[in-house]
Amino acid sequence: MSYQTTYRPPGEGDELYSVDAAITVKCRAADTGGTYEVFEVDMPRGVGVPPHAEPWPKAFYVLHGRMAVRSGDQAYELGPGGFVTVPPGAANTFRVLTPAVKFLAFSLGEGMGGFFADVDRTAPRDASLEELAPLMQDVLTRHGVTFVDEPAAAP
């Protein structure tokens, strides 16, 4: 494993396109010997992620705004300073409650970063939702992310 000091000033880091969010890579798994990664996520109101499960653990720490998160059968409303963890394989979803939310997403290993990078490479910026659906399904399959029936909706 190779660890290195990583410094990224405010507003800097690799920016990855995501269909519904601005993702800034603050720390890559390669910077930490593959142990963890950190992303700054900026999302507008109303955006939510369909209920899903992924094979990596993750955590969210809200910087500003509010978001509702559901992990398993538990619901949480997070504001600035709020923190929640989601175990690997847990059904989870979230949605933005304020005009926007900015939060840090932490993940063990390199799964989330690989997923975000694959979305960035695969999803054309000007594609319609209908055009994106089959492309995104391929990305989800490659990374072991599955849509689930539960939880039914974010709080």
Cα three-residue angle 79-150-52, rounded to 5 degrees? 70
Q: Where are the beta strands (DSSP E) in 3-153?
A: 14-18, 21-27, 36-44, 48-53, 58-64, 67-71, 74-78, 83-86, 92-96, 100-108, 146-147
- Domains contained in the chain, CATH given: 14-146 (2.60.120.10)
**8 A C-beta contact, residue 71 and residue 94:** no
Note down pLDDT in tens along the chain; length 155 residues.
Answer: 677 899 999 989 999 988 888 999 999 999 999 999 999 999 998 767 789 999 999 999 999 999 999 999 999 999 999 999 999 999 999 999 999 999 999 999 999 999 999 999 998 888 887 888 888 889 999 999 998 985 444 45
- What is the pTM for the complete model shown? 0.90
